[in-house]
Chains A and B, each alone.
Chain A
Amino acid sequence: MADVSHTPNAPPRHLPAGTPPILELVNIAKYFPGVIANEHVSLNVFPGEIHALLGENGAGKSTLMNVVTGLYQPDAGEIIIDGYGTTFPAPDAAISAGIGMVHQHFRLVPRFTVAENLHLGWSETPKRLSAKDIEGRAKELSARFGLPVRPSAIVSSLSAGEQQRVEILRVLSRGARLLILDEPTAVLSPVEVDELFSGLRRFRSEGGAVIIISHKLDEIMALADRVSVLRQGRLVGTHHVADVTPDSLVTEMIGRPVALATSYPRQVPVLEVGKAELLSLQQVTVRDNAGVVRLENVSLSLRPGEILGIAGVTGNGQPELAEVLTGLKDPESGTIFLNGKAVNRADPAMFAHAGVGHVPEDRLKRALMPGLSVAENMALREYDRPPIGGKFGFSMPQARKFAQMLADKAGVKLPGTQVQIRGLSGGNQQRLVLEREIRIASHVLVASYPSRGLDIGAISAMRDMLARARDAGVAVVLMSEDLDEIFALSDRIAVLYAGRLMGIMARADADRDSIGALMSGRSLSEAA
């Protein structure tokens, strides 16, 4: 099926037949101790092409791009640029060959202005410079590449989309002809995604080449000319996008067809809901440290065996709601009831012991200790009880065994339980956190954007886990920016807008239009 359209060497159809590729990879291999990161990867990228790179978490996409940008040396194979075999001993060699990478986590100095960031570490930066000069130069660059930026703005004050434009502009200004983007849309709003895509299309029409790593199939279908799929470090196919469907890509990526279910029917009869309220909020208002109201008069209650979906545009009070529900933050006014009793003071330990699990939005910042080992990270919720520990003790051998058990359950292949968790991919970190939290969530699980950074196979597994938790009688709160996900899993759907709960409705009564209207701040009567 896949092999029919596998055309590794032909240029995209809109280019003339004899176009020489800008980049050719021939039989690239990269090994790490005990792991084949890449093997037999051969790939061409042509000028005037947008080439998508697709694969599960850990399929070897990042390693391959690190080879192309000179961060890693391939253990076998050849890199050919414009027909000449080359090696990139270090990243600067790749940059001078015209290869530029925009990382998922921006590499900008937050306290510097846009113009200063653009001129950092650049051989063409004038020796003597004034703020006015470099801002003028930044303005020129911005105009030349058609990427609007404000040269005098401090980077930390910019939105994610604006920061990304600065990053792209910095790469382009160094003469990049091949632009590599790692999950560029993960942090962008829909409008910013459109702007990014039109920028990339303009770059392509001027003869630039783009490699884009993405998990989002619809984006690949809309933007890319060709797509290459990696599985377990090997290239399984390169196709013209016109010849494939999202389903065939998923099958090729995972090795079996996976479709995200649109509903998760209960495997066990519904529990008597409504009787016990595990956790509820009454007229809760929360302010952030700057005194801005983040949640306003929110009342809701969680029932056992039910998934409550929280829809809403990001930044409308979701993190604060999760913090209030898990005992991380005291509300300014209003009451939290845990198992029917009012909570006087926020105490995350009390909530955790009452069986409240929490998968936070920013797992690396909040739920993990990046510098500690996988074993220590996995022990975070159960270090105070046997077998890992007790009132005084702590057993590292038991913690390692426990971590290995969680990793096996989560389907994460670990290089060892003693490695720092920051060395794992974002997807694997997320799977481990999810596994750890579901274990302690005997009553409530608050999951904020649990599918962020996961590939489709892992998302499917994550959703099954949530559904199983629901079937076991856990009250699940699911915050997501993906309405499909909300609709597939939720029993009730609540909408957050500007910190207010715009309404809670049963899944059966909800439709996309009304939810969409609530998300943009219109009440139902206005929408009707």
Chain B
Amino acid sequence: MNDPRSPILSGVVSLAHGNGGRHMRALIDAVFARHLANPLLDTTLDAAPLPAMEGEILFTTDGYTVQPLEFPGGTIGSLAVHGTVNDLAVSGATPLYLSLGALIEEGLELSQLERIVASCARAAAECGVRIVAGDTKVLRRGEGGGLYLTTSGIGVRSRSAALGMQHIRPGDAVLVSGPVGDHGTAVMLAREQFGLRGELHSDSASVLPLTRALLEFSGLRFMRDPTRGGLATVCHEISVATGLGMHLQQAAIPVRDPVQSVCDMLGYDPYYLACEGRVVAVIAEDQADAALAAWQALPQGSEAARIGQVAADIRHVVLHTPLGGSRILEELEDDPLPRIC
């Protein structure tokens, strides 16, 4: 296909787009700068000067390698923004600035790259963050999965937001902001590897409204977005770090029917599948109901639930099943493989 804007920008990304010369300049101007434009983004500078910030500055970075690059509910571009924004948000910060590094594999369709960068820009606008620095490199064909993105983020928080696992106490309540496993399952379906189709969308989104709503509560101890490894992994990490156990009620944990069905078919456990727009929060027992109500009043939190309690009587994460049985949610062993039958 041809792009009317410039012959340099038709078809696919080539090695010339990474050579530092005219082609690279064209790619940056026409794709990255055009979509990501904001007053602080100047692609001619080596480093971006940022205005002075009030409060404690938080800094984070993350790499993104999802396949396929576009999936129902998002793209690697929106994921790269939401992921880094969410890491800042669950730390109690307001995200302000991002950098974006793109490793592009030779042969990637320019039209697809443009769609992804546009979704990146939309996500950044929704989250109220600005992309102020960037880099592109082109990898030789076969050396990359189409496109890898890295975002680093800077945010600020008021010094009173003392969140951390060290504040967690026995008796604290555990909340989750919505159904778990949507992203992991949606991406799996989008790979079409198993010949399964579904109407499922990734939950990829900013969790900023959710984290802001809970920062009001003095009893808030800790928040985390359950990405890789899912809900079970976050709970397990809390248990290991605090030396405390956790009782989770299976009946209370929201899981969508299509997610459960795919898991039943392929032998996956939904509690270990990635979410990209959920928050797990630990909060003092006496404030849990009010916090849950605050979440449920938000569109992102309408399906939020109170799912369990931190406990001193055990040292594991124990899932209590609706039938009165129980099992331990342990650390994920290795990448789950679909089973034979």
Bound pair (A, B)? no
**Which residues of B approach A to under 8 Å, CB–CB?**
none
